Structures are given as C-alpha cells and as structure tokens.
C-alpha cells in the first residue's frame, strides 16, 4: 500500500508547498465531479515530487493560494496525464496555469507508445503493472473518502512519476522533449480568459442553418444563456437546450402564447424562462446583422483538398513515427484549408507552427489544392 499524507488544513498545506518548492518536478492529478454544473467541482488534488505523496482536500482546506502559486513557478515542471480537464480546474479554482507543462499522454504518443493512451494502459505498457480502476466513478465531493478511494487516487500520481524517466529517455533520444513542452504551452494558452459572450452563438449546434437575421436573434439568446450558465454554475444545456434556441431564432415568437405553442421548448423551459425569452428576442440588433456562417466543408473542392492534405500528412506521420491524430487532426486540416483559401489572412494555422512546421510546411506548400 502506498504511503501518503492527507492534507486537510492550511498549516499542513503550507508545509507541503514549502517542501515541493525545492523540487524540479511535481506530478499532479485532480478528481472532480461534473454532472449539471458549468464548472467542474474539485474534490481532490493528488501531488507527488518523488519524496512525498500528498492528497490535498480542497473541501477542507480553506486557502489553496500557496498551492496555486507553486504551479506557476518557472523552475517547476508539472507532469499530468491527458490534462485538458485538469487545466480547466486550475483556471477556475486557482486562476492559474502551470508554467512548464509535461503531458504524459502527448509524450507517450511522440515517443512511440501510441496515440491517446489512458493512464492505466500507459502504466501497464511501461511498468508492466495492472491498475485497478474500480473507483473511477467515485463521488469525490462526498466525505469521508474511503481508504480504497484514497489509494486509487494516490496511484494516479505515484506510477506517473515512476514512468516519467522512460518517457524522457525516449524523447531525448529523438530530440522531441521540447515538442512536449511546446504542446503544453499551447494547451495552457487562453485558459484564463472568461467565456466570450458575444461569440456564444457560434457554438450552438446547427447555427450554420440560420440566415443573418435569424443569427441576430440567436446571438442575444446564446449570450443570455451563457451568462446565466456561468452565474448559476449550470451546464448550458440545463438552462435551455441548443435546439430550443435554434427554434426560437427561426420562429421569433412575439408573445407568451406563441412561445407556448412551440414544440422545440420543454414545458419547464417555457415556464421558467418564457417571459425572459420573449423580452430577449425583442432586443435583437437587426441593424447590425452577423455574417452568415460560411461552411467551408460545403464548398466545391473541399472533400478533394481535404483528402489530398490528409494523405500528405499520413505519409509524413508514418515517415517520422508521429501519430496522425497529433500531427494533423481533422480540425487542423480544416483550419489550414480555411487559412489557405482565405488569402492566408488571420492567425497562422497550427500545422505551420512550431515542431509541426518543420515536418509539414514544405510538403504542404507543394500540394495543388
């Protein structure tokens, strides 16, 4: 059984942070619950520097500010596995991001273990140790946590520290260590910015179906929904669902009577938000209409160009032993085509940045698309 410290008061946390400051490496993981909430509810933080494994109880500790400052130390490498959701937790709870991030899932992909490996699979491949994932559905907010739950959580950082040297050795052999840190820096960018309320309408499913006038209505509805979701810490779908917003933008009911006839809204949505929705629709700015959403994938030649680029990137991924999903995903190819066909204006696509640029820029430039 792994030995660990359970940190549930401010004084113990201060002592722990003072120790961790002396270490160049810190392995982290978080356990959280997200069902109906906009933000994940943080239930536990696991940390290990190779000497002290600690389980930090954010429910009991009143002030985590010292710990959040620790993550931002420029001389500290923070090691996480598949860390997108952890970064979201850090941004919301600590208003911070790790200064130097090493994501072991990306590292594993870049040194030949395979793309998208889960933590247990990576431990099994590198250390030949099978992990029990039986506590993965734990309610991490509920107290007290059982010994089985705590040891499950401790395993998530202990073995990551143990396998880290293997990843580093392979990455250094291939001169790819900086690639991992580059990916880490990219993943942390923009995390501390608040949600852009004005652009919320672009994330509503099937918004591309709407005319500019309908988009003007959708814009005020989506802005209102996101604002309410953030203020109430409620997932946007539990405020009003996407298809209801689309229906409102298309039909633009002028009265409660008209709104109650709509089949796109649930009875609860009508009852709770009906008056607000009618009032919101009346505020749509019809003098400054949003642009129609241009669906690049519907343009003539898109499928052919996409296929050509995908084949080019597949050849490069095989040549350099980099998973195609990491080198150039569907989103990356779409972003590149959008830039290429948009007279190369706007932000340079990811395919032409950093380590990817050195692999793909010349072959992509030679394509006729």
Active site residues: 29, 31, 86, 152, 156
**Beta pairing, strands 25-33 & 41-48:** antiparallel
**H-state helical runs in the chain:** 10-20, 65-71, 84-94, 104-110, 119-127, 147-173, 177-188, 212-232, 242-251, 256-260, 267-281, 302-320, 324-327, 330-341, 354-365
Q: Residue 56 corresponds to which tokens in the numbers above?
A: 């930090």
Task: Please give the structure tokens belonging to residue 18.
Answer: 């003072």
For residue 223, give the 3-state DSSP assignment: helix
Sole residue written with tokens 């010349």: 362
**Residue 111 per-residue DSSP state:** T
Give how far Cα 304 sits from Cα of 98, 101, 343, 363, Å: 41, 37, 19, 17
In degrees, rounded to 5, the angle at the alpha carbon of residue 252 between the alpha carbons of residues 249 and 254 is 155
Tokens 């340079």 belong to 348
Torsion of CA 13, 18, 22, 27, to 10 degrees: 10
- Dihedral sign computed on CA atoms, order 52, 29, 59, 74: positive
Q: How far apart are CA 365 and CA 344, in angstroms?
A: 12
Distances (CA, A) of 175 to 16, 64, 82, 136, 171: 34, 37, 22, 35, 6
Dig out the tokens for 67 from the structure: 């710990």
Residue of 51, 93, 43, 101 whose CA lies nearest to 71 = 101
Q: What is the DSSP letter of 194?
A: P
């Amino acid at each position: 059984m792994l030995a660990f410290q359970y940190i549930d008061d401010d004084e113990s946390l201060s002592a722990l942070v003072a120790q961790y400051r002396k270490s160049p490496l810190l392995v982290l993981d978080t356990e959280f619950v997200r069902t109906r909430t906009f933000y994940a509810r943080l239930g536990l933080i696991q940390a290990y520097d190779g000497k002290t494994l600690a389980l930090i109880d954010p429910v009991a500790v009143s002030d985590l500010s010292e710990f959040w400052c620790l993550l931002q130390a420029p001389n500290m490498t923070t090691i996480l596995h598949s860390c997108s959701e952890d970064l979201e937790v850090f941004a919301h709870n600590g208003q911070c991001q790790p200064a130097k991030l090493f994501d072991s899932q990306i590292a594993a992909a870049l040194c030949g273990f395979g793309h998208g490996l889960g933590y247990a699979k990576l431990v099994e491949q590198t250390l030949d140790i099978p992990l029990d994932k039986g506590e993965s559905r734990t309610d991490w907010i509920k107290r007290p946590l059982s010994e089985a739950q705590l040891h499950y959580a401790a395993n998530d950082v202990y073995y990551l520290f143990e396998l880290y040297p293997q990843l580093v050795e392979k990455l250094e052999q291939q001169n790819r260590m900086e690639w991992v840190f580059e990916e880490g820096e990219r993943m942390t960018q923009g995390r501390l910015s608040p949600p852009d309320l004005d652009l919320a309408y672009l994330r509503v499913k099937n918004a591309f179906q709407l005319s500019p006038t309908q988009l003007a209505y959708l814009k005020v509805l989506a802005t209102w929904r996101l604002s309410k979701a953030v203020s109430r810490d409620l997932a946007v779908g539990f405020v009003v669902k996407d298809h209801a917003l689309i229906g409102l933008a298309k039909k633009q009911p002028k009265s409660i009577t008209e709104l109650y006839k709509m089949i796109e809204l649930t009875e609860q949505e009508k009852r709770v938000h009906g008056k607000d929705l009618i009032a919101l629709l009346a505020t749509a700015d019809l003098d400054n209409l949003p642009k129609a959403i241009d669906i690049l994938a519907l343009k003539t030649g898109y499928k052919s160009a996409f296929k050509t680029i995908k084949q080019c990137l597949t050849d490069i991924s095989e040549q350099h032993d980099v998973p195609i999903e990491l080198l150039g995903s569907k989103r990356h190819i779409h972003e590149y085509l959008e830039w290429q066909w948009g007279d190369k204006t706007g932000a340079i696509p990811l395919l032409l940045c950093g380590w990817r640029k050195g692999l793909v820029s010349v072959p992509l430039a030679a394509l006729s698309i």
